[in-house]
């Protein structure tokens, strides 16, 4: 029986508390197991082989140059104590402490990338490389549990109870504003504060690394708008605005009009979006995209075990299996929907003795091409010879696409038997095509394409696609009425709006009595 690899040991980690385990499950579903690591440690304070390391974060996601740090704290809120006392106590334990832990973890990871472990005893190193600090983007995410019900009671009126976002608040100023968060860290270093409800909503709605990272980066830019006060009823309300706002074909947050010095997003938008027929149609259309996730996870099991093999034409030391799968996982949900559909179609094509290829450009990156190749196995050759023949054709397609489409800078190929075969295997290939093909290289690949009957004219064995589908099959009217409000002064928070509602009801009662 072979020893487990570091990657396999890391995959066994599930978190140490119920809330951490719940977060780990959410993260691995959204970000996939090859890039998600619960409870990572540094060797700080560890003496030789004795003692334990220091926990850095409750969850670490490393995806290329993007690093997501999660702190998960479950703290009971003292509802039997005056809110002026209970809130600062809870804030310090649940939010402030998390923010400082995350900032410390980022500092350590940027300085000591080789001292990160996935076990408390610091025997198993983090199996994926951290990015160069000069290129890395770090996102700090504090998941705070235990205060949601107290917030719902405090705001009243059917409030969702999520923490409000207030860009005016910095550091100790939070102690005076119950259930509002701005910038807990010095220097306004951004920390995304979520609770037990909004973390589920966010990771369910944006369940790929690129989708979530785009949102987090957009949110940080939004709150960094100079001189504009942001007052938002909760993370889920901001998420609803993001999903329902498009600029140049991408999700965005509402543009702040020139001259506005404050923006308020009220409650209700998330409730509208969550129950909308447009979102239901999107979720239904997305179902087929999870084949892409399953394909990545299936191949990831071989990568973790160290048993993934490359094409015969390539030396093992030149193959970066994680990089290949990361290219697949770099596609957002909409692109995965389209790609999975194309791959399924290629798998459905089966004609004895004939290969079939569908070639498509990623709707997320038109300079990235995909080749989906299916080749039935001839009965008169052994499997190894068949696999070599199939991989040679895949390699020719991935280089040949540069000959046909010079603007393409990377090609990703997946080859398999069609659905009709009893047994199947997959070949994965990533080809960097950023450099211009030299004339002698072009001759070599054109010869190989001719020999293997790849991309010849007329190309009856290949179909090309490069169109972008609709994320919402039942589209929103993005040019319709807006759900947000602008104000020339400082916006009211939920407590202030609640107070004004009470005063309005009192005035109405007084007017009724006087009328009698």
Total structural domains in the chain?
2
CA distance to 142, 213, 221, 368, per residue, from 189 (Å): 13, 17, 12, 34
Residue 164: both structure tokens together: 């409000």
Return the half-sphere exposure (C-beta side, CA atoms, 13 A cut-off) of residue 343.
25
Q: Are 355 and 377 in contact (CB under 8 A)?
A: no
Residue with tokens 């190193």: 125
Whether 313 and 172 map to the same domain: the answer is no
Helices (H), 117-158: 148-155
Q: What pLDDT sits at residue 289?
A: 96
Q: Residue 424: how many CB atoms within 10 A of its CB? A: 13
pLDDT 10s digits, 232-284: 999 999 999 999 998 888 899 988 888 888 888 888 899 999 999 999 999 99
- How would DSSP label each residue in 37-91? EEEEEE-TT-BTTBS--EEEEEEEEEETTEEEEEEEEE----TTS-HHHHHHHHI
Contact 449, 455 (CB under 8 A): yes
Question: Do 226 and 307 sit in the same domain of this protein?
Answer: no
Residue 315, pLDDT > 50, answer: no
Domain with 410 in it: 292-465
Residues 330 and 234 in one domain: no
My answer on whether 263 and 303 are in the same domain is no
CA distance 71 to 101: 8
At 89, the pLDDT band (50, 70, 90 cuts) reads very high
pLDDT in tens, 53-68: 899 999 999 999 999 9
The CA radius of gyration of the chain, in Å to the nearest whole number, is 27
| Residue 111 clears pLDDT 70, i.e. is over it | yes
501 is a domain residue: no
According to the model, what pLDDT value does residue 488 have?
34
- Domain contains 271: yes
Cis bond leading into 187, ω under 30°? no
Confidence at residue 465, expressed as pLDDT on a 0 to 100 scale? 61
Do 245 and 371 fall within a single domain? no
pLDDT at 492: 41
Q: Which residue has the higher pLDDT, 439 or 141?
A: 141
The Cα–Cα gap between 287 and 291 comes to: 8
Give the model's pLDDT for residue 18: 81
Q: Would you say the pTM of this structure is higher than 0.85?
A: yes
Say what the pLDDT of residue 54 is. 92
Per-residue pLDDT, 463: 54
What token pair was written down for 101?
A: 């832990």
Cβ neighbour number for residue 113 with a 10 Å cutoff: 16
Q: Per-residue confidence at 448, pLDDT binned at 50, 70, 90?
A: confident
Q: Is the pLDDT of residue 480 over 90?
A: no
Q: What is the mean pLDDT of residues 482-494?
A: 40
pLDDT for res 113: 93
Residue 155 corresponds to which tokens in the numbers above? 């705001």
What 3-state class would DSSP assign to 262?
A: strand
User: Mind listing the pLDDT tens digit for each residue in 363-393?
Assistant: 888 889 999 999 999 998 999 999 999 999 9
Cα 102 to Cα 69: distance, rounded to the nearest angstrom: 7
Do residues 211 and 305 share a domain?
no
d(CA 346, CA 463): 10
Q: CA-to-CA distance for 225 and 258, rounded, in angstroms?
A: 12
For residues 308 and 233, membership in a common domain is answered with no
Which residue, 143, 141, 75, is CA-closest to 105?
A: 141
**Rounded-to-integer distance, Cα 333 and Cα 330, Å:** 10
Same domain, 271 and 297: no
Element (H, E) at 145: strand 137-145
Q: What is the mean pLDDT of residues 414-432?
A: 91
Residue 22 lies in a domain: yes
- Could you tell me if 311 and 412 lie in one domain? yes
On the question of pLDDT at 462 being above 90, the answer is no
> Residue 486's pLDDT band (boundaries 50, 70, 90)?
very low
Q: Is 427 helix (H, G, I), strand (E, B) or coil?
A: strand
Please name the residues in contact with 497: beta carbons below 8 A apart, sequence gap of 6 or more. Answer: none
Please report, for residues 132, 246, 300, the alpha-carbon distance to residue 318 in angstroms, rounded to integers and kept in the order given: 20, 41, 18
In angstroms, how far apart are the furthest CA atoms of the chain? 100
pLDDT in tens, 316-369: 444 688 899 999 999 999 999 999 999 999 999 988 888 898 888 888 888 899
Q: Is 282 within the bounds of a domain?
A: no
- Mean pLDDT on 103-120: 94
Q: Of 275, 302, 326, which residue constitutes the final position of a domain?
A: 275
> 160-164, 285-289, 348-352, 401-405: which has the minimum mean pLDDT?
401-405
Position 91 scores a pLDDT of 95
Query: Is 502's pLDDT higher than 80?
Result: no
Are 143 and 28 within one domain? yes
In a domain, 479, yes or no: no
Domain match, 204 and 82 both: yes
Cα–Cα–Cα angle for 143, 223, 191, rounded to 5 degrees: 25
Cα dihedral sign for 130, 134, 136, 138? positive
Same domain, yes or no: 382 and 242? no
Distance from CA of residue 337 to its chain's centroid?
15
* CA dist., res. 63 & res. 35, Å (int): 6
Q: What percent of the chain has pLDDT over 70?
A: 86
Alpha carbon of residue 483 to chain centroid:
26
CA 263 – CA 63 distance, rounded (Å): 33
Is pLDDT above 60 for 493? no
């Amino acid at each position: 029986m072979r020893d487990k690899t570091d990657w396999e040991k890391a995959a066994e980690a599930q978190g140490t508390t119920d809330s951490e385990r719940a977060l780990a499950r959410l993260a691995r579903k959204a970000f996939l197991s090859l890039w998600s690591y619960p409870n990572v440690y540094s060797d700080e304070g560890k003496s030789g082989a004795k003692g334990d390391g220091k926990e850095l974060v409750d969850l670490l996601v490393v995806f290329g140059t993007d690093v997501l740090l999660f702190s998960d704290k479950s703290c009971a809120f003292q509802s039997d104590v005056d809110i002026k006392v209970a809130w600062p106590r809870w804030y310090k334990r649940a939010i402030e402490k998390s923010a400082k832990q995350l900032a410390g973890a980022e500092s350590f990871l940027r300085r000591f990338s080789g001292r990160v472990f996935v076990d408390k005893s610091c025997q198993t190193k983090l199996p994926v490389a951290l990015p160069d600090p000069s290129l890395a983007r770090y996102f700090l995410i504090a998941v705070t549990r235990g205060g949601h019900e107290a917030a719902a009671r405090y705001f009243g009126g059917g409030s969702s109870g999520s923490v409000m976002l207030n860009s005016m608040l910095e550091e100790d100023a939070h102690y005076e504003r119950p259930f509002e968060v701005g910038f807990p860290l010095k220097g306004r270093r951004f920390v995304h504060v979520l609770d037990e409800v909004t973390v589920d909503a966010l990771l369910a709605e944006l369940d790929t690394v690129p989708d979530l990272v785009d949102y987090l980066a957009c949110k940080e830019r939004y709150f960094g708008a100079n001189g504009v006060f942001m007052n938002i009823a909760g993370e889920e309300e901001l998420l609803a605005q993001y999903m329902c706002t498009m600029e140049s074909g991408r999700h965005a947050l509402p543009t702040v009009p020139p001259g506005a010095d404050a923006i308020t997003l009220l409650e209700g938008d998330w409730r509208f979006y969550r129950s909308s027929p447009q979102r239901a149609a999107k979720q239904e259309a997305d179902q087929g995209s999870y084949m892409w996730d399953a394909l990545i996870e299936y191949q990831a099991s071989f990568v973790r075990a160290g048993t993934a093999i490359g094409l015969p034409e390539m030396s093992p030391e030149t193959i970066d299996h994680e990089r290949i799968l990361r290219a697949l996982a770099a596609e957002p949900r909409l692109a995965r929907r389209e790609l999975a559909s194309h791959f399924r179609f290629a798998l459905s094509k089966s004609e004895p003795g004939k290969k079939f290829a569908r070639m498509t450009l990623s709707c997320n990156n038109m300079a990235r091409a995909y080749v989906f190749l299916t080749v039935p196995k001839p009965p008169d050759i052994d499997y190894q010879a068949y696999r070599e023949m199939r991989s040679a054709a895949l390699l020719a397609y991935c280089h040949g696409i540069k000959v046909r489409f010079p603007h393409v800078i990377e090609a990703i190929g997946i080859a398999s038997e069609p659905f009709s075969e009893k047994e199947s295997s997959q070949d994965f290939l990533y080809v960097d095509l950023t450099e211009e093909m030299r004339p002698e290289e072009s001759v070599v690949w054109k010869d190989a394409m001719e020999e293997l009957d790849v991309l010849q004219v007329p190309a009856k064995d290949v179909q090309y696609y490069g169109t972008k589908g609709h994320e919402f099959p039942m589209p929103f009217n993005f040019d319709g009425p807006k759900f947000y409000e602008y104000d020339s002064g400082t916006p009211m928070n939920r407590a202030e709006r609640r107070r004004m509602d009470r005063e309005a009801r009192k005035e109405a009662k007084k007017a009724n009595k006087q009328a009698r």
